[in-house]
A and B are shown apart, each in its own frame.
Chain A
Amino acid sequence: MPETILKATNLGIAFGGLRAVHGFAIDIKECELVGLIGPNGAGKTTVFNLFTGVYKPTEGTFYLGGHLMNGKKTHEIVAAGIARTFQNIRLFKKMTVMENVLIAFTKDMKSNLLSSILRLGSFWKEEESIRQKALELLAVFNLQDKADWMAGNLPYGQQRKLEIARALATNAKMLLLDEPAAGMNPTETAELLECINTIRKKFSISILLIEHDMSLVMNICERIVVIDYGEIIAQGLPQEISHDPKVIAAYLGE
């Protein structure tokens, strides 16, 4: 029986009168890849914002590896092991590709103000080791040759990849990907699909994936959760979902 990584019960948030998410429950196991789909404005990104502490839930609870995460700050949740990417890419555009990844290592770095200013041996050693680690990680995404590029100058598809690389660099157990294939051409999407499969094997990480590209979702997700108007309307295996009348109705607009 694989261990549960992320578990939410009855999770919800209301913005004033609008219940953006309500009664959301999910149980993601080790190394599982779960899809989260739903029409525009259904509340998918809001679920991610709840899981990463950007919004504080107004109801319900969620746990990571058995630890309660409610009310924790974003950086504390990242430290606990949830990392994400954004629907609208949020890279550090004016920093290099390498630096984008290095930032994610910062939380685990030991050097302090004094050793950094005095440039002690330990400072250089750590800098060298994280740069090595960053290069290895970039190599997984075939970005090692662009380490010195300004992140904002990368082609779109590679920006998406770099964002995933940066999320992985936080050493997360749970990865939340918000529409990683949005705006990609079919070749880039195919590449991304391969990439997601590689990192699952290599990092044995659980993934929750929001995606509008149905072929991608049906292709790689083991399980799918469908939400509409902030509530779960269906969940199950990809083939079950694709035949579910409620899902079809939600997508075709009744």
Chain B
Amino acid sequence: MDNQKVRTKKLLVSLVGVGVLMLAVFIFDSLGMMDNYIRGIFIQSCFAIIMVTSLNLVMGYLGQIALGHAGFMAVGAYTSALVTKAIGLAIKAETMAPISPMLQFFIGILCGALAAALFGLIVGIPALRLRGDYLAIITLGFGEIIRVVIQNLPFAGGKGLASGQAGQALIGIMRMNDIYVIMLVTMVCVGIMIAFVRSKFGRAIMAIRDDDIASSSTGLNTTYYKVLTFVFSAFFAGVAGAIYAHRGLGTLQHSDFTFLKSTEYVIMVVLGGMGSMTGAVVAAITLSVLPEALRAFSEYRMLVYSVMLILVMMFRPTGLFGSYEFSLYQLLTKRRKKAVEPEQTAAKGDN
């Protein structure tokens, strides 16, 4: 346990790290290298990071397989898009005092995230009674149901709201592609999730992952922690959806959120390492940038993913990072402790 002094130092180190990262992006930007194409990839990496880290809470830390994460992203995307649309219309009709686009965007994010969390609750309560394969199937089903329902909502298609039309792409969505804002939102989200993992909540869900029966026999209300984590994770999928909706194209399609999308994020979690936030972030960035770098092979993307997955499963079954976490503080102070690798010791039989 760190004392006050070390904690303050760690906080400072993290803040400096964030500052340096922002500065790097700023320099990159002011050199004129941030064209629309790069910006697109940058934003894509950002919402992928939020998606993968939040899915990692459920898959890596809680140890449940969830295949419907894109469904929550869809809820966040559509809700936020409709909210910013509604605000925009209200301002135009002068029924509302004008507010900055930034504030509109943040209201949109919050509404999208809360809506996604609500859906997380609705899906989580029945689904988390099941385990393993059953949970995977039911979350997959719910994810698709959410998408199909959205497809059939009149106010979520065409121009949206009152002038909307079911079955069409939602168009005319506000644009908010300020990389600094999106970067900051992403970092805050990841920071919150890391804080969650490093608290009694994180401890509790890792205990549940290790042994469900022992957890309840030690006083944990396992259902509560499972549902809470699921809702928490859906909340952030909603944030990612909101960023996605406002990324600058101005349109949303229900087909952006098929279960293939969910599977992509699942692959990223597994590749990065279940239960490693570092791994989740690295996998999200790599697998967002890589397909662009290998544009020529874009048709074979899923093939490349599968091969990568098989290779990782063969040679590094805990994912590239296992449960390793990068720490700038430890790197700087050189007081690196050897992480005890849990993987081999776990295989001692069921007893």
Other-chain residue from A92, A109, A111, A128 in contact with B211 (beta carbon distance below 8 A)? A92
Other-chain residue from B195, B206, B216, B348 in contact with A92 (beta carbon distance below 8 A)? B206
In the complex, A118 Cα to B199 Cα: how many Å?
A: 11
CB contact list, A132-156 vs B, under 8 A: 149-150, 152-153
The answer to whether B218 touches A103, judged by C-beta atoms less than 8 angstroms apart, is yes
In the complex, A74 Cα to B224 Cα: how many Å?
A: 13
Which one of A94, A118, A119, A166 has the greatest number of beta carbons of chain B within 10 Å? A94
Query: Contacts A127-B1, A170-B218 hold; do A92 and B210 have CB atoms under 8 A apart?
Result: yes
Cβ of B219 under 8 Å from chain A: yes
Query: Contacts A90-B214, A113-B201, A152-B342 hold; do A119 and B195 have CB atoms under 8 A apart?
Result: yes
Report the nearest A residue to B351, measured CB to CB. A88
Q: Could you say which residues of chain B place their CB within 8 Å of the CB of A149?
A: 340
Other-chain residue from A107, A124, A153 in contact with B219 (beta carbon distance below 8 A)? A107
Report the nearest A residue to B343, measured CB to CB. A94
CB contact list, A71-85 vs B, under 8 A: 73-75, 78-79, 83-84
Number of interface residues of A (CB under 8 A): 44
The answer to whether A102 touches B203, judged by C-beta atoms less than 8 angstroms apart, is yes
The answer to whether B215 touches A103, judged by C-beta atoms less than 8 angstroms apart, is yes
Q: Could you say which residues of chain A place their CB within 8 Å of the CB of B207?
A: 92, 95, 99, 103
The answer to whether B219 touches A95, judged by C-beta atoms less than 8 angstroms apart, is no
Query: Contacts A94-B342, A152-B342 hold; do A116 and B201 have CB atoms under 8 A apart?
Result: yes
In the complex, A166 Cα to B228 Cα: how many Å?
A: 24
Cβ of A117 under 8 Å from chain B: yes
The answer to whether A123 touches B199, judged by C-beta atoms less than 8 angstroms apart, is yes
Q: How many A-B residue pairs have CB under 8 A?
A: 114
Q: How far is the CB of B15 from chain A (nearest CB, A)?
A: 13
Cβ of A229 under 8 Å from chain B: no
In the complex, A167 Cα to B216 Cα: how many Å?
A: 11
CB contact list, A55-91 vs B, under 8 A: 73-75, 78-79, 83-84, 86, 88-91
Query: Contacts A117-B196, A119-B195 hold; do A104 and B218 have CB atoms under 8 A apart?
Result: yes
Cβ of B204 under 8 Å from chain A: yes
Q: Could you say which residues of chain B place their CB within 8 Å of the CB of A79?
A: 219
Other-chain residue from B210, B214, B232, B350 in contact with A86 (beta carbon distance below 8 A)? B214
In the complex, A177 Cα to B228 Cα: how many Å?
A: 32
Cβ of B7 under 8 Å from chain A: yes
Q: How far is the CB of B300 from chain A (nearest CB, A)?
A: 36
Cβ of A131 under 8 Å from chain B: yes
In the complex, A152 Cα to B342 Cα: how many Å?
A: 8
Cβ of A184 under 8 Å from chain B: no
Other-chain residue from A52, A103, A119, A150 in contact with B342 (beta carbon distance below 8 A)? A150
Cβ of A197 under 8 Å from chain B: no
Cβ of B260 under 8 Å from chain A: no
- 15 additional A-B pairs beyond A90-B214, A104-B219, A107-B219, beta carbons within 8 Å, are A54-B217, A74-B217, A89-B351, A91-B214, A93-B346, A94-B342, A111-B200, A116-B195, A116-B201, A117-B195, A117-B199, A118-B195, A127-B1, A152-B346, A170-B219
Chain B interface (Cβ within 8 Å of chain A)?
Answer: 1, 4, 7, 192, 195-196, 199-201, 203-204, 206-207, 210-211, 213-222, 228, 232, 340, 342, 345-346, 348, 350-351
* 7 A-B contact pairs sorted by A residue (CB < 8 Å): A78-B219, A103-B203, A104-B218, A106-B218, A109-B200, A117-B195, A167-B218
